[in-house]
Chain A
């Protein structure tokens, strides 16, 4: 049986969490930008 190496599994999990965190920051930054430029709606 060919297994996913430990490094790959750990890297995937950390990458997912970091990307999710980057997503929240991006969303908040964009909403501030849209509010300032009155582009929300």
Chain B
């Protein structure tokens, strides 16, 4: 297939983009009527039910990277590559009990930064904020880039215009509706994403004989079906720890833990993990058979769109377009909201202006959302690197935050020195591994280094943390 051709006419692409854009902003306005208070705007009133709660956790985790990078994994690392991606759901499963504990320990908490500040003090808090903000920006950038790339690949919409349009829509509806709009649209986006994935998968199956395709691919690309592929096995553990780091530290999930009703918060995250688990295989299996299907992929970023377009023509391209737009929206909106919370609550309120009123803080939040959108847009204007490199560069940083968060939630002896050293040394050594050995080792090594330091300092610690310190309401 010639990659200079587009699968959809640009007019159809623009029509879909504008129609869905209007719908999301309209829904944002509708749900935004509920977000009158700061609690409403930042945490959707702290009373979200299980349906919306599990959908928002799942949809946020189904990023455009899931849809775009998973086929790349299938193409490069075969079956193990797809299985490696499914391990990202383990982060949601493990966060389920943690979310319940967070709600118990911090009934009036706002952000993950609040937890680190109260639990470990200001030095650890600063390091953590640096990691969290860097990661959130890397995630935002990788998704906005993915949006621009896929719109260009599918519909010939200029990269800069497509990327700008996606960011604009997400900023607008997050701005007008806060977390109510984010969670409400996430539910609709979840349903569309899941139905779209099933439609593409079923249509792909109806166009090829899986048994024959397997036989052909095993002959031409046996490495993809190698059950003992060392790089892929390494990437499985790397992905798993990357997933733990992303979920455990990022305010996107902490804000859900604070927003979902206490009684169902644990169930909601477990269910989200279960909903997410099969998605990489359902999305990426066609990539295993691209060679036997005669699809020539010269640009790795376009693996998913090219396969869908080749197998299913313009209908598949429309479905994929909508699924990717929904997955972009569900993640970008969450990141904008959660990162602006982090900047408003942790940086502005706690560092700059502690006497700020709730009303003023809400205004600051909206300004931050606009600012985040602008910064992301500026970074994305020049298209840099492929999606994998942008995504996995952040891996060592988040991997190093796993143990300070986990031990901080459950272990009185966990302490500030251990938290700071584990995040700094874990990130540094993980980055060294990223450049020296490859992206597929970086998170794994960062997490292991962080674990050794955290447990070492716990063993030597005389700290016995008082859990009531985490409840700011009582202080």
Contact = CB atoms under 8 A, between A and B. Distances in A.
Contacts of B55: 27, 31
Interface string A1-35: 11110100110110111011101101110110110
A34 B52 CA distance: 9
B278 A16 contact: yes
Contacts of A13: 201, 205, 210, 281-282, 285
Contact of B51 (A21, A24, A40): A40
B353 interface: no
Given A12-B281, A41-B45, A23 B52 contact: no
B170 to A, nearest CB: 22
Nearest to A40: B49
Interface residues of B, number: 48
Q: Give chain A's interface residue range (CB within 8 Å of chain B).
A: 20 to 34
Interface string B209-228: 01100110010001101111
A29 to B, nearest CB: 9
Contacts of B34: 41
Contact of A24 (B47, B180, B198): B198
A16 B198 CA distance: 10
B202 A17 contact: yes
A4 B225 CA distance: 5
Given A16-B285, A17-B201, A20-B197, A27 B51 contact: yes
B191 A28 contact: yes
A17 B196 CA distance: 11
A12 B190 CA distance: 22
Contacts of B187: 27, 31
Interface of B: 34, 44-45, 47-52, 54-55, 58, 79, 83, 180, 187, 190-191, 194-195, 197-198, 201-202, 205, 210-211, 214-215, 218, 222-223, 225-228, 261, 271, 274-275, 277-282, 285, 288
Interface of A: 1-4, 6, 9-10, 12-13, 15-17, 19-21, 23-24, 26-28, 30-31, 33-34, 39-41
